[in-house]
Amino acid sequence: MTTRTNEIWLRDLRSTGAIHEDALIDLRNVIQKGLPYALSRWLSSTDPLFQPLVEEVTQETLLRILDQLDTFEGRSLFTTWVHKIAIRIALTELRRKRWRDSSLDELTENEDAPPPPGLLADPQASPETSAERKDMVVRVRRILEEELTPKQREALVLLGLQDIPMDEAARRMKTNRNALYKLLHDARLRLKKRLALEELSPQDVLLAFEQK
């Protein structure tokens, strides 16, 4: 793995082509090397659930880092900043999934706020809430159809809805892991801008499904 300063990390991740892909590979290795130790308090690396979590967290962390490069202030090593983001994402996933091996009280330590429980439909929802959810689903589907390319939609469905592993999703789409990261990154940016134009936030979408 190439040794990089903070400045070189930022430069390489903002580059294109082979330089960008090499930086993503190295950053992926940095994340996956640190997660077993960081999460050992809550989940053993020998647990069969551990590796799927690492893959999911790695994918989300890489996307988050690409989205937030401009927010890195250089007060620590770039890799330290990355590890902190990866751990926050991992703990959020552990809470969201309510894994039996984890104490929910412990998982809230050093976190800003509990994450939303996700799109968990409530069979006892009121008619008003059910109608609001239905309207939100229609709006979200329209945004996805209008804003994303077919490839971007396919990637989101495979990775976001069907929980297909990254390597398998790349195989199905006849691409590679790094190209798939880029596809997801671009899709997220387009959705973020479109939601802002629609005066919606990701939290608004989630809340529509969380109301009782």
Q: For the chain, what is the total number of helices (H) and then of strands (E)? A: 10, 0
Per CATH, the number for 127-210 is 1.10.10.10
| Neighbour count for residue 4 (Cβ, 10 Å) | 19
Burial, 88: exposed, middle or buried (Cβ in 10 Å; 0-12, 13-18, 19+)?
middle
Q: Mean pLDDT throughout 188-210?
A: 72
Question: pTM of the entire structure?
Answer: 0.52
- Structure token digits, residue 45: 């690396």
Is the domain spanning 6-107 CATH 3.40.640.10? The answer is no
Whether residue 22 has pLDDT greater than 60: yes
Q: Tell me, what DSSP letter sits at residue 98?
A: T
| Greatest C-alpha distance within the chain | 58
Predicted confidence at residue 200, as pLDDT, reads 75
Looking at per-residue pLDDT, the higher value among 171 and 131 belongs to: 171
Say which residue the tokens 């689903």 belong to: 137
CA–CA distance, 57 with 88 (Å, rounded to integer) = 9
Please give the average per-residue pLDDT across 115-130, as a whole number.
49
pLDDT of residue 207: 56
Alpha helices, H only, 112-201: 127-147, 150-156, 166-172, 177-197
- Residue located via tokens 């809230």: 108
Q: Where in the chain is the domain with CATH 1.10.1740.10?
A: 6-107
Among 7-16, 48-57, 203-212, the range scoring the smallest mean pLDDT is 203-212
| pLDDT for res 5 | 92
Band the pLDDT of 129: cuts 50, 70, 90.
low
Where along the chain do the CATH 1.10.10.10 domains lie? 127-210
pLDDT confidence of residue 133: 67
Residue 102 region by backbone torsions, left for phi larger than 0, else alpha for psi between -120 and 50, else beta: beta
pLDDT value at 102 more than 50: no
